[in-house]
């Protein structure tokens, strides 16, 4: 495609209107798209197809002919990536085929609902501690830094077996990796720092194993020679990073959405059994992985009536698929009792569908229930227009959420 033509395409990623964090795509971007499947201009050069319909996104994400490997030439890169693949030997989110499933299989059982139930008391303790600390600070407080960010980071650190004293270090470096404004060198530096600490931790788990995921993977996979230590390090890094910003932004934006609908908070207090359904609708309505999921066509294919040629890039825009009127009635509205909410694709779809979703759902359910219960007079000290928005590399979230009670 000639560069002049690419210049005339709508620039991607879309940045929603500043007036409302719950509108994923502004009117002007929607008008420029001109249809459910169209071409967009990528931030680091080139173009890609954009898929926005629910069914097209499903088709794309389950199609084995599309690659997730961002190091392949022609991959539709949406975020700055480290210049080399070094240190990425276990980042299976960017792998295809057998290479991908080899790593994923090692974690499937760990993240199954029954295993997540076992750590629910710990999630509850983490949530309650953070909320009571917040109460002790006194209003107004920033719900993002005091609650939404520490809860998922403490939970994943605990699951992996990262000691409490290293928690701030992990939170800081994972934020650098996920920040769209971080340059490749900064990301490299943060990856190096995490790599160093994880190396020390793994060495420690070899001699002093405990009841945690790292210890289990060392004993069951590394020691028998099934998994290399560098692979385990980057696998752990993926879990730390993937489980942190996503869940934190979901907690923050969900709290804001519920504060905009106080009747839902009342209903939650009266009937905690409403929480799982409400969480599904929040996942749909918020869709923190707003930019979408990039893929590279490895073979000719047809998605949503559009012929896609091998070597072309495609982006599955989850936030728009989750607002598809053919699946969700009145899709722009928030309806906490929506029956079809579970059809959302906030966790992706197909081979790479989020492995941490049972954990994320448990964290969200406990966090929102306890917030409603313990802070019945909670109010946002900001408006939808004024609340600082943050467009991170992969996720969308709030810079802060000032609240009072
Ligand atoms: C609300 C919170 C979360 C959201 C919205 C979310 C979203 C997603 C999405 C959309 C994908 C698909 C990526 C792709 O297809 O390229 C994904 C994959 C993944 N997520 Fe999550 N995630 C969340 C929480 C978590 C948690 C808590 C963990 C683990 C601790 C986690 C670990 C992963 C991993 C390892 C993958 C890669 C799976 C694979 O490639 O097979 N996520 N997530």
How far apart, in whole angstroms, are the C-alpha atoms of residue 109 and residue 217? 12
Question: What average pLDDT does range 276-284 have in this prediction?
Answer: 98
- The rounded Cα 86 to chain-centroid distance in angstroms is 23
Q: How far is the CA of 316 from the centre of ligand 1 (A)?
A: 15
C-beta 360 within 6 A of ligand 1: yes
Taking residues 41-61, report their average pLDDT: 96
How far is 318 from 50, CA to CA, in rounded Å? 11
Pick the residue with more confidence: 131 or 164? 131
Tell me what pLDDT residue 308 has. 97
Q: Is 227 in the pocket of ligand 1 (CB under 6 A)?
A: no
User: Which of 104-108, 176-180, 343-347 is predicted with the least confidence, judged by mean pLDDT?
Assistant: 176-180
**Segment 339-343 mean pLDDT:** 97
pLDDT for residue 186:
84
pLDDT tens sequence across 225-241: 999 999 999 899 899 88
Mean pLDDT of 32-60: 94
Q: Report how far residue 229's alpha carbon sits from residue 248's, in angstroms, rounded to the nearest whole number.
A: 29
pLDDT at 99 over 80: yes
Label residue 339 by pLDDT band (50, 70, 90): very high
Q: How far apart are CA 210 and CA 202, in angstroms?
A: 11
Residue 78 CB–ligand 1 contact under 6 Å: no
Per-residue pLDDT at 319 exceeds 90: yes
pLDDT for residue 86: 65
pLDDT of residue 336: 95
Ligand 1 centroid vs 289 CA: distance in angstroms? 9
How many A from CA of 307 to the centre of ligand 1? Answer: 29
Average pLDDT over the chain, rounded to whole?
92
Query: Which atom of ligand 1 is closest in space to residue 152's alpha carbon?
Result: 27
Q: Are 399 and 389 in contact (CB under 8 A)?
A: yes
Give the mean pLDDT of 330-352: 97
* Closest residue by CA, ligand 1 atom 30: 243
pLDDT tens-digit readout, 288-301: 999 899 999 999 99
Q: Which residue puts its alpha carbon closest to atom 43 of ligand 1?
A: 354
Most confident stretch, 107-121, 198-212, 326-340: 326-340
pLDDT tens for 9-42 read 999 998 888 899 999 999 888 888 888 999 999 9
- Contact between 327 and 343 under an 8 Å Cβ cutoff? The reply is yes
Compute the radius of gyration of the chain from its Cα atoms: 21
Q: Is 291 in the pocket of ligand 1 (CB under 6 A)?
A: no
Alpha carbon distance 271, 269 (integer Å): 6
Residue 82 has pLDDT above 70, yes or no: no
CB of residue 116 inside a 6 A radius of ligand 1: no
**Most informative mutation of 244, 246, 254, 364 for ligand 1 (most atoms within 8 A of CB):** 246
Q: Identify the pLDDT of residue 340.
A: 97
What is the 241 CA–ligand 1 centroid distance (Å)?
10
pLDDT of residue 184: 77
How many angstroms separate the CA atoms of 154 and 141, rounded? 19
pLDDT reported for residue 170: 80
- Predicted pLDDT of residue 84: 64
Nearest CA to ligand 1 atom 36: 354
> Is the minimum distance from the CB of 68 to ligand 1 under 6 angstroms?
yes
- Residue 252 CB less than 6 A away from ligand 1: no
What's the rounded Cα separation, in Å, for the pair 56 and 36? 9
Q: How many domains does the chain have?
A: 1
Q: Which two tokens stand for residue 188?
A: 């490299």
In terms of phi and psi (left: phi > 0; alpha: psi -120 to 50; beta: otherwise), the region of 161 is left
What is the domain extent for residue 281? 3-404
What pLDDT band is residue 83 in, cutting at 50, 70 and 90?
low
What tokens were used for 280? Answer: 């599904």
Residue 242 has pLDDT above 90, yes or no: no
Average pLDDT in the 52-72 region?
96
Output the domain CATH number for residue 364: 1.10.630.10
| Candidate of 110, 347, 350, 362 to mutate for ligand 1, largest count of ligand atoms within 8 Å of Cβ | 347
Label residue 164 by pLDDT band (50, 70, 90).
confident
- Please provide the size of the chain in residues: 405
Query: Which whole-number Å values give the CA distances from 303 to 13, 62, 326, in the listed order?
Result: 21, 11, 17
Q: What are phi and psi of 380, to 5 degrees?
A: -80, 135
* Ligand 1 geometric centre to CA of 354 (Å): 4
Confidence band (pLDDT; 50, 70, 90) for 87? low
The contacts of residue 98 (CB under 8 Å, 6+ apart) are: none
pLDDT at 393 over 90: no
């Amino acid at each position: 495609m000639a560069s002049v033509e690419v210049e005339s395409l709508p620039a991607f990623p879309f940045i929603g209107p500043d007036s409302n964090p719950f509108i994923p795509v502004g009117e002007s971007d929607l008008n420029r798209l001109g249809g459910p499947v169209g071409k967009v201009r990528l931030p680091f050069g080139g173009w890609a197809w954009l898929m926005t319909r629910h069914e097209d996104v499903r088709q794309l994400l389950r199609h084995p002919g599309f690659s997730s490997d961002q190091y392949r030439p022609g991959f539709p890169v949406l975020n700055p990536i480290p210049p080399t693949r070094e240190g990425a030997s276990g980042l299976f989110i960017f792998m295809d085929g057998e290479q991908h499933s080899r790593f994923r299989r090692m974690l499937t059982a760990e993240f199954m609902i029954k295993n997540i139930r076992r750590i629910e008391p710990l999630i509850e303790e983490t949530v309650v501690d953070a909320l009571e600390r917040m109460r002790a600070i006194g209003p107004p407080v920033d719900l993002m830094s005091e609650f939404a960010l520490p809860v998922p980071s403490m939970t994943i650190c605990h699951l992996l077996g990262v000691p409490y004293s290293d928690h701030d270090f992990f939170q800081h470096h994972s934020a650098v990796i996920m920040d769209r404004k971080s340059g490749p060198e900064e990301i490299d530096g943060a990856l190096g720092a995490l790599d160093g600490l994880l190396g020390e931790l793994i060495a420690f788990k070899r001699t002093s194993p405990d009841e945690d995921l790292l210890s289990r993977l060392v004993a069951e996979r590394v020691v028998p020679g099934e998994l290399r230590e560098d692979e385990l390090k980057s696998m752990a890094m993926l879990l730390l990073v993937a489980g942190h910003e996503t869940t934190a932004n979901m907690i923050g934006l969900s709290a804001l959405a519920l504060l905009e609908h106080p009747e839902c908070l009342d209903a939650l207090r009266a009937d905690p059994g409403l929480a799982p359904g409400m969480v599904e609708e929040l996942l749909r309505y918020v869709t923190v992985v707003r930019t979408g999921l990039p893929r590279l066509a490895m073979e000719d294919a047809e998605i949503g009536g559009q012929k896609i040629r091998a070597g072309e890039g495609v982006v599955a825009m989850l936030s728009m698929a989750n607002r598809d009127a053919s699946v969700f009635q009145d899709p722009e509205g928030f309806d906490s009792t929506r029956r079809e909410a579970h059809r959302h694709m906030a966790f992706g779809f197909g081979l790479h569908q989020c492995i941490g979703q049972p954990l994320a759902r448990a964290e969200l359910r406990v966090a929102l229930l306890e917030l409603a219960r313990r802070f019945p007079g909670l109010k946002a000290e900001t408006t939808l227009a004024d609340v600082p928005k943050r467009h991170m590399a992969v996720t969308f979230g709030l810079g802060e959420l000032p609240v009072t009670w």
